[in-house]
Structure 1
Amino acid sequence: MLDRRMHFCPPVSRDRVISDFPKCYNPKACLQEKDDWNSQAKMACKERAERQQAWDRLKMSKAVVVGDLNVGKTCLINRFCKDVFDRDYKATIGVDFEIERFELSGIPFSLQIWDTAGQEKFKCIASAYYRGAHVIITVFDMSDIRTLEHTRQWLVEALRENEPNACSVFLLGTKSDLMSPEMRASLERDAVKLASELQAEFWMVSSKTGENVNEFFFRVAAIAFEDAILRDLEGTATQSIGQGDIIRASLETTPNKEVKKTCC
C-alpha cells in the first residue's frame, strides 16, 4: 500500500490562491483575451478535485527567464518569491531556480521559475536548461532600449531548445519606476509592437516598487496551469524531471534529432 506521507504537501499560502482568471496588463498585447477559465479545463478541475487523492493532483510547469545581463531577472524573481529587493546583487552564474506553489480552481499547482545567466560566457550552460519549458519570459530593461532589441535573439535561442508551439511567451519590461510617464508610453508602444511580432504577451513591472510583479506571475501561473490541464484532456503521460517533480508531457512522437554538442 502506497505511503501517502511521502506525498504530503503543506497548505498553499493564502496569497497564492487564484480563484479568478487573472487579467492581462495591456489588451493590445494579450495572449488570451478572456475573463474566465476554459470551460473544459474548469470542468476537469472540478471533477479531479472531487475524486482524486491530493498527492495524485500535483502539477508543475517550468518557466525560464531569459535576457541580457543586468536587466533585472534575479530582482524580479526575488521580489515575487521572497518579497525582497536588493539593488546590490551578484550576477547569476549559470542558472538558479525557485518553486512557487499555487492553488488554482481548487487544484495544487507549482511553477518552477528558472533564472538564467545573461552573460555570454554562460550561454552554453543556461541553454541546456531551456529544454522542457512551458513558459518563456524574455526580459528587457526599460531604461536601456538596446536590451529590448536583444529580446528577439534570446527568444529564438530559448525556442530552439523546445518543441514548436509548446511554450507561452511573455515580453517583460523591468525598472518601470525609472521612467517618466511620457517615456513609459513611448517605450510601451514599441514593446507592444514587438510583442505582436513575437506572439508574446507584454507586461511592464518594477521590482523595486513591486508594481505589477504579483499580477504578472499570477497571469503566468494561470496560463501555464490551464495549458497543463488542456494537455491532459488531449491525452498525456506522466513523467518526472528535476527532483522527481510531477509534470505532464505530450505523447506525440517526434523524429529523432541529432544530439547537439555545445561547449563553453
Structure 2
Amino acid sequence: MQLSRSAVYAMLKTHAEKDRIIASLPPPFIRQASPHLNDDFDEAVKNAANSNRTLQAGLKISKLIILGDVAIGKTCLVNRLCHQVFDANYKATIGVDFEVERFDVLGIPYNLQIWDTAGQERFKCIAASYYRGASAVMIVFDVTNIVTLAHTAQWLEEARQANQNTNPLVFLVGTKRDLMGEGAYNQIEAQARRVAQGLGAEYWAVSSKTGDNVEALFLRVAALTFNRAVFQEVQGCDNHKHTGTVKIGERLDNASEARKKAKCASCVK
C-alpha cells in the first residue's frame, strides 16, 4: 500500500481535538511496568517548544506499527481511538491498514501514523514490508488467551529485524480486559509484566469495547515518541539530521535508511 503525497495530506487533520492536546507527559499504566521513568518531558524538549524554535521544516510525523496474532483486537483498538466505535464482528486485516491521528504536543502539531498489520501468516510477508521506519512498536496480545502472550517476543523480533539500526519504543498491550475478572486478570498481568520487562516494553491493559485506557495509551505513545524525536533533534543530532520523524511525501524506507547513518550516543535515550 503505497500512499501518494496528496493521499497522506488528505488524511491529516488541520487541528487536534481537545482530547488530543498534550501539555504534560501522560503517566504510564503502571509505573513499575515501564522502562520510562521520567515524570515530564525532557527539559531540552520543553525549552525548544517554549522558545518556538523551528524543530524541523515540514510537518512532524512518527510511525507506530501494531503487531500481534490474528483475532486479538488490533483493528478494534485502532478503531476505538480513531473513530470511537467498536465492532464485535471479526474481519481479518489484509496486509495493512493505515490511519493518521493528529496531536498537539507542547503546542507543536504532531501526527502519529498508525499502521494496523495483519496477524494471519499468509499476510505476514505483505505486512512485514511496512515495519521499517517505526518510531514505536505496539505488540498486542489477548489477555484471555495466554498463547498470544507467548508469541509477543517473536513479533517484536521481526519488528527489530526490520529496524536494526534504530531503537523504536516498545509497548506491550493486553486487549479484551473487560472479559476477565480481577482474580484471573491479576495472574495474567503478573506474567505480562515479566514479559514486558524482558522485551524492554511498557505494559498496558485496555478494553476496546468499553474504551478503558485506549485514549490514555495512545496519548502516552504520542508523547513519548514526540519527546524522543525532539530530544534527538535538539541534543547534538542536528548535524546528523537524525530526527526520528518523516516528512510528508518521503518514503518511509528512505527515511529509515537516512537515519541509519545518524545513530550517536545522545540518540539512544
Cα shift readout 1:193-244 (whole Å, capped 9, x = no counterpart): 0100000000000000000000000000000001110121222437856744
The answer as to whether partners of 1:57 and 1:107 remain within 8 angstroms in 2 is no
Shift of 1:165: 4.9
Residue among 15, 36, 43 paired with 2:40: 36
The DSSP-based 3-state class of the residue aligned with 2:129 is helix
State the TM-score, normalized to the length of structure 2: 0.84
The DSSP-based 3-state class of the residue aligned with 1:113 is strand
- Write the mapping of 1:16-165 to structure 2, written as runs, cut at 5 A: 16-47=20-51, 49=52, 52=54, 56=57, 58-165=59-166
- Write the mapping of 1:183-222 to structure 2, written as runs, cut at 5 A: 183-222=184-223
The DSSP-based 3-state class of the residue aligned with 1:129 is coil
The DSSP-based 3-state class of the residue aligned with 2:130 is helix
CA distance in 2, matches of 1:174, 1:9: 27
The answer as to whether partners of 2:60 and 2:247 remain within 8 angstroms in 1 is no
Structure 2: segments with no counterpart, 5+ residues: 1-8, 264-269
The answer as to whether partners of 1:169 and 1:199 remain within 8 angstroms in 2 is yes
Matched to 2:117, the amino acid is T
State the TM-score, normalized to the length of structure 1: 0.86
Matched to 1:160, the amino acid is Q
Match of 2:3 in 1: none
The DSSP-based 3-state class of the residue aligned with 1:84 is coil
Shift of 1:250: 3.1
The answer as to whether partners of 2:13 and 2:101 remain within 8 angstroms in 1 is no
Shift of 1:10: 1.8
RMSD, aligned CA: 2.5
CA distance in 2, matches of 1:125, 1:250: 23
Shift of 1:58: 2.0
Structure richer in strand, relative to its length:
1
Matched to 2:215, the amino acid is N
CA distance in 2, matches of 1:124, 1:176: 30
Structure 1: segments with no counterpart, 5+ residues: 1-5, 255-264
Match of 1:12 in 2: 16
Q: How many residues align?
A: 246
Q: Which has the larger radius of gyration?
A: 1
Cα shift readout 1:68-108 (whole Å, capped 9, x = no counterpart): 00000000000001000001141000001100000001100
**CA 1:92/1:241 → structure 2, altered by over 3 Å: closer, same or farther?**
farther
The answer as to whether partners of 2:15 and 2:102 remain within 8 angstroms in 1 is no
Cα shift readout 1:124-176 (whole Å, capped 9, x = no counterpart): 11111000001000000000000000001000001100034520001000000
The answer as to whether partners of 1:60 and 1:245 remain within 8 angstroms in 2 is no
Matched to 2:70, the amino acid is L
Q: Percent identity?
A: 45
The DSSP-based 3-state class of the residue aligned with 1:62 is strand
Matched to 1:44, the amino acid is A
